[in-house]
């Protein structure tokens, strides 16, 4: 927060409330994750990977897209830390990262579109 007082004093003493506000760089993490939400195909791919580990070919079939298009989305998701990959021979498998951010985004997607998680108990 800026030092000193705010230009307009509305009697709220708000400066004290923001003494521990995160740095601007900390908000970049949130911004980078939210950028992943700008494409519905990417969200679908991420949602699928929250429930299973899959290869590009199968993902492309599930979302009815070309493999290069799916690979593009996977790169974006991986660069943001939301998914991880592992190689088994010539095949690469992808799944959601086991992070708080990925789990939170998964829950948020399901809440927003009211999708029931296949692995959730009723």
Q: Domain containing 107 — which CATH number?
A: 1.10.10.10
Q: What is the pTM of this model?
A: 0.76
Q: Is residue 13 part of a domain?
A: no
Q: Is residue 74 part of a domain?
A: yes
Contacts of 70 (CB under 8 A, 6+ apart): 45, 56, 59, 60, 63
Angle value at C-alpha 95, between 94 and 98, nearest 5 degrees: 140
**Residue-wise pLDDT tens digits, 81-94:** 999 999 999 999 99
Q: Is residue 97 part of a domain?
A: yes
Residues 92/83, Cβ–Cβ less than 8 Å: no
Q: For the chain, where are the E strands, in sequence order?
A: 54-55, 83-88, 91-96
Q: Report how many domains make up the chain.
A: 1
**Residue-wise pLDDT tens digits, 35-93:** 888 899 999 999 999 999 999 999 999 999 999 999 999 999 999 999 999 999 999 99
Q: Please give the Cα distance from 93 to 54 (Å, whole number).
A: 5
């Amino acid at each position: 927060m800026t030092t000193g007082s705010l230009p307009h004093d509305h009697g709220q003493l708000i400066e004290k409330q923001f003494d521990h506000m995160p740095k601007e760089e900390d908000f970049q993490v949130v911004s980078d994750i939210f950028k992943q939400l700008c494409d519905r195909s990417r969200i679908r791919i991420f949602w699928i990977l929250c429930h299973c580990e899959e290869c590009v070919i199968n993902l492309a079939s599930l979302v009815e897209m070309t493999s290069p298009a799916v690979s593009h989305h996977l790169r974006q998701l991986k660069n943001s830390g939301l998914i991880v990959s592992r190689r088994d021979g010539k095949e690469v498998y992808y799944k959601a990262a086991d992070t708080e951010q990925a789990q939170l985004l998964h829950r948020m997607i399901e809440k927003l579109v009211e999708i029931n998680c296949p692995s959730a108990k009723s």
